[in-house]
Amino acid sequence: PTENPTRATFMLFGGTGDLALRKLYPAIFNLYKKGSLSTHFALVGLSRKALTDEEFRAKIIESISSETDDKAQAEEFASHFYWKSHDVTNTDHYKELGKIADELDQKYETDGNRIFYVSMAPRFFGIVAKNLKEQGVLSTNGGFNRLVIEKPFGRDYASAKELNDELTSAFNENQIYRIDHYLGKETTQAIPVIRFGNPIIEAIWNQNYIKDVQITLAEKLGVEDRAGYYDTAGALRDMIQNHTLQIVSYLAMDEPNSFVDTEIRREKVKALESMEIYDADGVKQNFVRGQYGAGDGTPAYRDEPGVPHDSNNNTYAAGKIVFNNPRWGKTPFYIRSGKKLATKTGRIDIEFKKPIVDIFAKGTHQPAELKSNVLTLLIDPKIGITLEINTKNSAQGMHTETVDLSYLQSDARAAEVPLPYERLFHDILKGDGTYFASWPEVAAAWKYVDPVQKLWDTTQPDFPNYESGSMGPKAADELLARDGNSWYFPN
């Protein structure tokens, strides 16, 4: 469906940063190409660098070069871009920015709509928001003001709350868009439709029928050149607190009254707040950390460039989530994420309970044991859904076998799928917060993760404890084995 292009001026803090050049400009360009933005938009790039508009535009054209061969279109797009050298702590610079924004509003007839995207080191998130408000950069003539915040959002509940207090002293919660790019992925966005659009699925989406839920966000890569950041974060903060628990919230939430962001957020928060928070013993029982050793001809984490030789940072985290609510009762959600694992995959495996009585096992033909039905949602690199069901093997006699009902998105269709940042920008332009993390969700996720991090910070691990190229530490298999379960992937 076509829609009216949105009018807006973007102000991008960190305008020549890695994220901006690699992801943000290509995403904005695709919106332009597809018509969600057209003539009535402008973007001001900001950082301390002194660039001319021409130099900035050359970077933009370079940044979008893989998205288009149309030179004239690329140049027209880049002509909407302006550069301003800006120090985030200098209040005069914000006053100047306010004037530039007014001029661009006029020139591009943007109705005073403003999007402030802070793509800088997290310590600057708060100060930018505060100065935008205090130095009068916010639109006051009826246009919208939206603040977009990159990750990480704090490093524990206390620091996240402090950041949030700073942001909300300048912007209302409904003006703040906290980026979680996993929420821009096709399969994550499909979860509510798969659940609430299919009574045959939603009817059994509870502890009566689901044995366990497994979420795997596995990376094949190691820390690469991000040791400076990663060694102070780790898998629990970098992947579990945000992406994994957000996915958990869409899987676990109750049905919203309608598919609008306020309703969805209410249900997501309820789900996250009903996760049982563990004490130290509970953490020991229910969480596993890991750090990769050498393997596959590649070095151990502690031997990677920039990593201290005695680092106790977790490059792998797994856990068992238990909900204190009627829908989930005793059904565990197992989660895991790590680096240097056997394969790159993002997937959700939902294992259903077997029949209470296996009548086939009592027959005279001794067929194979019935397997659990498993519904798999593939997030990446492949997008798809599969369902394993038991049926009869076609050989003579009564033998059962398990077959896959499978939908895998074709490469041709996958190539058409908007990039996560493109989807998220689109939603920001439309003012739709459905696929952004609200503050109460972020708070609940930190409150859940904090006791785990605290125990890990204060106890000595036995690292390294998994080989590069494996699927993680043995203890993560034992975590499931204790419940009579096992990781479905790889099977």
Among positions 87, 134, 162, 165, the unique one binding ligand NAD when judged by CB under 6 A: 87
Closest approach of Cβ 394 to ligand NAD, in Å? 50
Residue showing the smallest CB distance to ligand NAD in the complex:
17
Closest CA to 480 of 277, 287, 195: 287
Closest approach of Cβ 416 to ligand NAD, in Å? 23
**Residue nearer to ligand NAD on the CB measure, 230 or 488:** 230
**Residue nearer to ligand NAD on the CB measure, 181 or 302:** 181
Q: How many residues bind ligand NAD (CB under 6 A)?
A: 19
- Give Cβ neighbours of residue 158 (< 8 Å, ≥ 6 apart): none
Q: Which residue has the tokens 């596959």?
A: 296
Q: Torsions phi, psi of 407, nearest 5?
A: -120, 115
Q: Which stretch binds ligand NAD (CB under 6 A): 80-88, 182-190, 305-313, 457-465?
A: 80-88
Binding mask 119-158 for ligand NAD (x = CB under 6 A): xxxx---------------------------xx-------
CA angle in degrees (0–180, nearest 5) for 23-28-31 = 130
What tokens appear for 108 in the block? 């591009």
**Residue nearer to ligand NAD on the CB measure, 20 or 61:** 20
Active site residues: 243
Among positions 39, 48, 285, 486, the unique one binding ligand NAD when judged by CB under 6 A: 48
Q: Is 431 in the site for ligand NAD (CB under 6 A)?
A: no
Among positions 47, 188, 315, 434, the unique one binding ligand NAD when judged by CB under 6 A: 47
**Residue nearer to ligand NAD on the CB measure, 16 or 175:** 16
Closest approach of Cβ 95 to ligand NAD, in Å? 16
Closest approach of Cβ 11 to ligand NAD, in Å? 12
What tokens appear for 192 in the block? 């509510």
Closest approach of Cβ 155 to ligand NAD, in Å? 12
Q: Is 55 in the site for ligand NAD (CB under 6 A)?
A: no
Among positions 1, 2, 4, 18, the unique one binding ligand NAD when judged by CB under 6 A: 18
Closest approach of Cβ 227 to ligand NAD, in Å? 14
In 381-486, DSSP assigns E strands to: 384-392, 400-408, 466-467
Q: How far apart are CA 407 and CA 301, in angstroms?
A: 37
Q: What is the DSSP string of 207-233?
A: TTTEEEEEEEEE-SS--TT-HHHHTTT
Q: How far apart are CA 83 and CA 45, in angstroms?
A: 5
Q: Is 17 in the site for ligand NAD (CB under 6 A)?
A: yes
How many C-beta atoms surround the C-beta of residue 35 within 10 A? Answer: 11
What one-letter code names the amino acid at 301? Y
Residues of span 289-348 touching ligand NAD by CB under 6 A: none
**Residue nearer to ligand NAD on the CB measure, 77 or 125:** 125
Write 261-270 long-range contacts (CB < 8 A, 24+).
261/432, 261/433, 261/434, 261/436, 262/433, 264/192, 264/434, 265/433, 265/438, 265/440, 265/441, 268/438, 268/441, 269/438, 269/440, 269/441, 269/444, 270/325
Q: Is 434 in the site for ligand NAD (CB under 6 A)?
A: no
Among positions 16, 242, 314, 465, the unique one binding ligand NAD when judged by CB under 6 A: 16
Q: How far apart are CA 178 and CA 481, in angstroms?
A: 37
Closest approach of Cβ 237 to ligand NAD, in Å? 12
Q: Is 163 in the site for ligand NAD (CB under 6 A)?
A: no
How many C-beta atoms surround the C-beta of residue 305 within 10 A? Answer: 9
Torsion angle (degrees, nearest 10) of CA 129, 131, 135, 138: -10
Binding site for ligand NAD (CB under 6 A): 14-20, 47-49, 86-88, 119-122, 150-151
